Amino acid sequence: MKKNVSLMMAFLLFAFLSWSQTKMITGSVTDDKANPIPNASIIAKGTKVGTTSGVDGSFKLSVPNNAVFLTISSLNYVSQDIRIPSGNFVNASLITKADNLQDVVVVGYSTVNRSSLSGSVAKISGNEIINRPVLSIDQALTGKAAGVQINTSSGLIGDNVTIRVRGSASISSGGQPLIVMDGVPLIQGNQGQLYNPANALADINPNDIESVEVLKDAAAASIYGSRASGGVILITTKKGKSGEAKVNYDAYIGMNQPGKQLIVLDADQFVSVINKMRSNAGLGNAVALGDFNGDGATDKTNWQDVVYRNGMTQNHQISISGGAGRTTYYSSASYNDFQNYIIVNRQKRITLRLNLTNKINNWLETGFKTQYSRTTSYGLGSGTGGALSGVPFGPLTAYPNVPIYSADGTYYTGAGGNTVSQNTPNPVAVQNLNYDTRDTKRFIASTYAEATLIKGLKFKSQYNVDVQTAYTDQYWDGSVGDGQGLAGVGQTVSSEVRVWSWFNTLNFNKKIGDHDLGVLAGAEYTRSYSSSNYAYGLNLFDPLFRLIGSSNYATIGAQNAVGGPNSGLASYFGGLNYGYKGKYLLSANIRTDAYSGFGRDNRWGNFPSTSVGWKISEEKFWKSKLVNDLKLRASYGVTGNSNIGDYPGLAAYSPTQYADIPSLNISTPGNSALRWEQTSQMDIGLDATIGKGISLVFDYYNKKTKDLILNNPILASIGFPGNTITQNIGSLETKGVELTIGLPIIEKRDFKWNINLNGAWNINKVISTNATGGDITGGQSIARPGYNMSVYYLIRWAGVNPANGFPMFLDVNGVAKQYDHSAPTANRWTKVSDGSVTTAITSADRVVDNSKTPIPKIFGGFSQSLIFKQFDLSFDLQYALGFYVYNSTRATLLSYTTTRNKSEEILNAWTKSSDVTNVPKLYWGENQSTQASTRFLEKGDFLRMRNIQIGYNLPKILLDKANLSRLRVYAQIQNAFTLTGYSGMDPESNANGNVNIGLGIDNFRPYLPRTFTIGFNIGL
């Protein structure tokens, strides 16, 4: 009734005003891209006269004659005061709000307005990742959100991308966040079967993505309970909007090249260095120049030149979206082809998507989102990275003094004039003759029905499925490399990973006076399956026929395996959101999860969280003109980690053999008391808008993980495998701060300049490991109680003694010792101080340096976009500081025990007394200077220009003539340059994949490609 009275009053007032002198204003409201904005509010400033714009953005308003300004506003846009021009025609172009505080944010099973969010959630718009020539969607997110560290292991197709949200929350279990796309828990991680990695996220078309949300704190993530300790990434794909169909065609084409090449010795340098190494040791020459293909010229080959190429990349996408009546749709088809700079390495992907929603009546809505994709990756047939036939191991270490081809045109496989042979197989031959091809089909779908039971109460049931099947076909030619000893090898793997989940939720939202209430209750069941069939054939009769069968191969075999997850999760969850006057916010969530892999008694775990928010700027006492929006947030909650293997607690026996007699032995001792790892996280944050749209988000967090699932050493007399039992022991702590700033520096109609930057500082510390406080080792790093996570554990290099050219190390007590390989075995190690014979430097002399870990202390991104009339220019920077990389590649390329090619650094070797250098005297067989030591530990700090893009939008006049709504042409460089002091391939190199201990090992990972593309977007 009260409402009706005020309406009537307004009507009366309006009627009264309309009697006075008025003028009629007409106009239209559009966004900065000239799209109409319906429902925008137009009010004559200083009066209560107003109207809203129509579907086409147009409006008509009669205002008092004395009105000077119109205030035009709309949700998500910066409101504008426009002086009423003499012609009484107003064309308002509203700018999208630079701060995104008004956004709707997806938080699991419901959405909230960002303004009433009290958890920590970062949102990345689809526009920020569209049309980037990346191999998988995760790569495109690099540097986009504070506290989200995304590390691409290498430039190899399919290589691991490690994502850590606020550092590692585990030691031995998975650290990767849960990724959910449109409600579907996605299969992620490396799915590679034979010699090449295959990133499961490469199947997804990045251009279909509307937005990506990262749930960082416990309040936001705990609705995902036991899967959330590594954070949660929510991907929402595009949907259609009611109105005319929009057709977009996006295309780009370009080429890529290695971003960097290490320099190795040329043929002449090689021969002189190796032979010098030999002569210094009193040995005869081991290598020699010569003409081995009979072309009359001395053979000299730069293998990197022939193994690398300018790879072509292209992408085409057509999308059609729109809506009519009660139905909206978004559909797309795309083709992406990325030929890497490494010959034969290539990824092709087609995707098809259809997203559909259908309002059946006023209480029932249904819909689905589906994507089918086929990804074909052409890997390196003989393995990657540091494998003998891998790239870049092959091109970096192959003899530079032999030819590529023999006189008869076949690949040259000999050792040339090199008599001490440690040959690397002909790098071109192994790439061209061998292959490892993976053909992946992926279907991701979710379908739902949502019923409004009573006003404000909605019931939703959604079924999700993600199926990835792959066929890996691999071949080693019998003439070269790995296939040589086996006379030709064929291997195939058919594999499947399948996940379904089904959730049902009740959502209740009601506003009662000043009270906003939201209640959520739900249940979800998730089940993962996998299987693989492997077949191999050895000793190929005829290389023309490669199907594995006894008619083609002398030996064949096959094997079945689970090969992946076989687990299930039952979950019940509830949430409460409460707001008072939009000022005081409170939310609480709880999820309880049961995991199939735990014993029946400890299967269930509870993961509660709570958060509060206070919008101080809404208070009456808030007078600040400078800070016009300020919200304080605090949250605390508990999450878990389900990346713990299928049966971590199961006591089990596995089939074994006593030669011909089958037997059974304990494979896992089991632990029926095993339970979830628990991460409790406290977060304090603030969101502010300063002045004209400067936005600021700040968070401090402190995470503690306890009950880490680790292998606890037990007495050998108990007789369990590995003398360990899996127990909930160990704990670690992570704390840090995050800052995101949005700066709209210039906001003019024709000239806009925005800067966004984010940064995070993070410290990961191990509190305890196991009963004996033992180290957990990975790569060259360890987890040791009291030290930073993954701290390097290395022998200390003390340089080269200028007096004699011997390598020097410090023993555990700091005593400098030097090594002379020419001395008798017992006398090789001497003290630098007095030359007396001493004990050898061994692994017992390793020390930890708490300041040196592979995990950056500070990292983030910096992006800017500049729009000037029809032109736009943007770039994305990524940075990481305060971390170290172990350059294992360099160690191998400085070895004195092989005749493989060396890094050019070896030319700095000590030759005479008083030479100050870091490279010891060349001496054949000296194997101590390249042992794992701090000699190869380098600072990794870098600043990378990930993307520079320049574009031109055709003006509207021309577009209208061509009957187009949009045409943009652009050019971009992905991975343009990297500023770093690191001497190796790339400071992000990671040879160990997705681990928590042992990151930062650069062991022959191919450099990231630098990709140049030109492209256009056409909108009909």
What tokens appear for 333 in the block?
Answer: 């088809």
Task: Note whether 656 binds other proteins by CB under 8 A.
Answer: yes
Task: Note whether 595 binds other proteins by CB under 8 A.
Answer: yes
What burial class does residue 52 get, using C-beta atoms within 10 Å of its C-beta: 0-12 exposed, 13-18 middle, 19+ buried? middle
In the set 17, 467, 519, 651, which binds other proteins (CB under 8 A)? 651
Task: Note whether 715 binds other proteins by CB under 8 A.
Answer: yes
* Residue 597 CB contacts under 8 Å (≥ 6 apart), including other chains: 567, 644, 645, 646, 647, 648, 649, 650
- Residue 605: CB minimum distance to other proteins, A: 12
Task: Note whether 816 binds other proteins by CB under 8 A.
Answer: no
Q: How many CA atoms lie within 13 A of 860 on its CB side?
A: 19
Q: Which is nearer to other proteins, 388 or 909 (CB)?
A: 388
Q: H/E element holding 395?
A: helix 393-397
Task: Note whether 650 binds other proteins by CB under 8 A.
Answer: yes
Site map for other proteins, 305-334, x if CB under 8 A? ------------------------------
Site map for other proteins, 487-516, x if CB under 8 A? ---------------x-x------------
* Residue 924 CB contacts under 8 Å (≥ 6 apart), including other chains: 277, 278, 280, 281, 283, 286, 896, 897
Tokens 């292209």 — which residue?
314
Task: Note whether 782 binds other proteins by CB under 8 A.
Answer: no
How far is C-alpha 9 from the geometric centre of its chain's CA atoms? 57
Choices 86-94, 395-403, 719-727, 988-996 (CB under 8 A): range interacting with other proteins: 719-727
Beta strand 942-953 pairing with 871-881: antiparallel
- Residue 524: CB minimum distance to other proteins, A: 9
Task: Note whether 653 binds other proteins by CB under 8 A.
Answer: yes
Task: Note whether 669 binds other proteins by CB under 8 A.
Answer: yes
Q: Which is nearer to other proteins, 565 or 736 (CB)?
A: 565
Site map for other proteins, 439-478, x if CB under 8 A? --------------x-----x-x-----------------
513 DSSP 8-state letter: T
Choices 267-275, 716-724, 860-868, 1011-1019 (CB under 8 A): range interacting with other proteins: 716-724
Within 195-224, the residues that bind other proteins by CB under 8 A are none
Choices 124-132, 645-653, 872-880, 973-981 (CB under 8 A): range interacting with other proteins: 645-653
Choices 41-49, 647-655, 786-794, 889-897 (CB under 8 A): range interacting with other proteins: 647-655
Q: Which is nearer to other proteins, 570 or 627 (CB)?
A: 570
Beta strand 781-783 pairing with 791-800: antiparallel
Task: Note whether 544 binds other proteins by CB under 8 A.
Answer: no
Measured CA to CA, the distance from residue 589 to residue 592 in angstroms comes to 10
Task: Note whether 193 binds other proteins by CB under 8 A.
Answer: no
Asked if 343 and 309 count as a contact pair (C-beta separation under 8 A), the reply is yes
Asked if 233 and 212 count as a contact pair (C-beta separation under 8 A), the reply is yes
Task: Note whether 272 binds other proteins by CB under 8 A.
Answer: no
Q: Which is nearer to other proteins, 372 or 720 (CB)?
A: 720
Choices 35-43, 222-230, 272-280, 722-730 (CB under 8 A): range interacting with other proteins: 722-730
E strand map for 583-693: 584-595, 604-615, 627-640, 652-658, 661-668, 678-690
Residues in the chain: 1020
Determine phi and psi for 278, rounding to 5 degrees: -70, -45
Choices 261-269, 296-304, 424-432, 720-728 (CB under 8 A): range interacting with other proteins: 720-728
- Residue 836: CB minimum distance to other proteins, A: 21
Measured CA to CA, the distance from residue 886 to residue 855 in angstroms comes to 12
Site map for other proteins, 968-1007, x if CB under 8 A? ----------------------------------------
What tokens appear for 194 in the block?
Answer: 């034979």
Q: Which is nearer to other proteins, 713 or 993 (CB)?
A: 713
What tokens appear for 942 in the block?
Answer: 């870098």
Selection from 882, 856, 887 nearest residue 984 by Cα: 887
Q: Tell whether the torsion through CA atoms of 769, 724, 772 and 604 is positive or negative.
A: positive
- Residue 660: CB minimum distance to other proteins, A: 6
- Residue 785: CB minimum distance to other proteins, A: 15
What tokens appear for 747 in the block?
Answer: 């906001």
Collapsing DSSP states into helix, strand and coil, what is residue 231? coil
Task: Note whether 569 binds other proteins by CB under 8 A.
Answer: yes
Instruction: Provide the terminal-to-terminal Cα distance of the chain, rounded to the nearest Å.
Output: 49
Q: Which is nearer to other proteins, 479 or 539 (CB)?
A: 539
What burial class does residue 1 get, using C-beta atoms within 10 Å of its C-beta: 0-12 exposed, 13-18 middle, 19+ buried? exposed
Choices 630-638, 668-676, 703-711, 804-812 (CB under 8 A): range interacting with other proteins: 668-676
Angle at 842 between CA 841 and CA 845, to 5 degrees: 80
* Residue 532 CB contacts under 8 Å (≥ 6 apart), including other chains: 193, 493, 494, 495, 496, 560, 561, 562, 563, 564
* Residue 321 CB contacts under 8 Å (≥ 6 apart), including other chains: 238, 239, 240, 241, 245, 246, 328, 329, 330, 331
Task: Note whether 226 binds other proteins by CB under 8 A.
Answer: no
Partners of residue 731 on adjacent β-strands = 768
Partners of residue 760 on adjacent β-strands = 738, 859
- Residue 526: CB minimum distance to other proteins, A: 7
51 DSSP 8-state letter: E
Q: Which is nearer to other proteins, 254 or 669 (CB)?
A: 669
Task: Note whether 526 binds other proteins by CB under 8 A.
Answer: yes
Task: Note whether 839 binds other proteins by CB under 8 A.
Answer: no
In the set 646, 733, 747, 915, which binds other proteins (CB under 8 A)? 646
Site map for other proteins, 868-887, x if CB under 8 A? --------------------
Angle at 946 between CA 942 and CA 952, to 5 degrees: 150
- Residue 440: CB minimum distance to other proteins, A: 23
- Residue 490: CB minimum distance to other proteins, A: 21
Task: Note whether 717 binds other proteins by CB under 8 A.
Answer: yes
Following CA atoms 82, 83, 86, 88 in sequence, which dihedral angle do they give, to the nearest 10 degrees?
A: 40
Task: Note whether 658 binds other proteins by CB under 8 A.
Answer: yes
* Amino acid making up residue 58: S
Q: H/E element holding 454?
A: strand 435-454
Q: Which is nearer to other proteins, 408 or 660 (CB)?
A: 660
In the set 188, 671, 769, 818, which binds other proteins (CB under 8 A)? 671
Choices 522-530, 791-799, 936-944, 949-957 (CB under 8 A): range interacting with other proteins: 522-530
Q: How many residues bind other proteins (CB under 8 A)?
A: 58
Residues that bind other proteins (CB under 8 A): 453, 459, 461, 502, 504, 523, 525-527, 561-562, 566-570, 594-596, 603, 646-647, 650-671, 712-720, 723, 725, 727, 771-772
